[in-house]
Amino acid sequence: MSTTQHRIGIVGARGHTGAELIRLVASHPALELVFVSSRELDGQRVADNVPGFEGELRYASLDPEAVAAQGADVVVLALPNGKAAPYVEAIDKAKPDTLIVDLSADYRFDERWYYGLPELTRQRWRGEKRISNPGCYATAVQLSIAPLKDLLAAPPVSFGVSGYSGAGTTPSDRNDPEKLRDNLMPYSLTGHMHEKEASRHLGVPVEFMPHVAPHFRGLTVTTNLYLARPVKREDIVNRFHGAYDGEKLVHVQDEAPWVSQIAHKHHVDIGGFAVSSDGKRVVVVATLDNLLKGAATQAMQNINRAIGVDEYTAIPV
């Protein structure tokens, strides 16, 4: 096992995901956090903003050239969609062998970037130093459908409900607790980014309808799948166990999982497996913490594999 220290920096560290990443890096034996970039928190101590982090490291407001000049071995981009390219270009020029993990959607459709959903794409990694981290909903949707992909009679339909941490820290209706109280907010009901992403990487069209709920973290995806032939529930459950029983971060259970039980956990729960009386329709329910397996934990899996340590290093399994 490699015990080399790898210097890591995080860009966009103010967000909810940035804080989770900082916590994971802090407990990692092979990673040293050397910079955290945030315009809003410039000059503040990380320890004062991230409970559990110790040390004197301070946030800095770094432009793309300044990030590249840090010379880190690993850079995580935790920025809103559409903001990654200048940082990638600057790092490409200054230190092209830097490992870049991008948490936005910007490179999820780029063939030159490895799409890192380890449970489904682990075998496709060829040592790429450019890794696109999957979307939170797209992770749950794909894991719900993949074991049944060869049986589909129609595009699966996924109904998603997420806590408002998924709407980020920039104020909007979708992360305003007052407007969300006793409410459910539908949005992007066709053509959502994660619909396109899941469809592309599964290789089958998926229809997805997201909603924001009043809870803070965790998402639920309920997926309806029409099957080309009748299938027994037991055979469906066996397919999911066959696909995921070797996976530390995917737990297959009999009952439909509850989102209240997944907050602060690093894995995905998948269950339900309700089958219609004719055996040609099944409903699968998946839950995950959108800030962890939907973002920071998955990024850590990808970083660990790329730096040559055990995939689950620093991830509480």
Give the catalytic positions in this structure.
136
Instruction: State whether residue 204 is helix, strand or coil.
Output: coil
As a whole number of angstroms, the distance between CA 134 and CA 210 comes to 16
SS3 state at 116: coil
Residue 27 CB neighbour total at 10 angstroms: 13
What does the alpha-carbon distance between residue 162 and residue 137 come to, in Å, rounded to a whole number?
Answer: 8
The one-letter amino acid code at 93 reads: K
- Count of other CB atoms within 10 angstroms of residue 243: 18
Q: Is the dihedral of CA 136, 259, 247, 198 positive or negative?
A: negative
The terminus-to-terminus CA distance of the chain in angstroms comes to 19
Beta bridge partners of 60: 37
| Closest of 46, 65, 64 to residue 56, by C-alpha | 46
Q: Can you point out the beta strands (E) in the chain? A: 6-11, 31-37, 59-60, 74-77, 99-102, 114-115, 130-132, 157-162, 185-186, 207-212, 219-226, 250-252, 268-275, 281-288
Rounded to 10 deg, the angle between the 16-26 and 297-307 helix axes is 40
Mapping DSSP to helix (H, G, I), strand (E, B) and coil, where does residue 185 land?
strand
Nearest partner of 122 among 307, 306, 314, 316, judged by Cα: 306
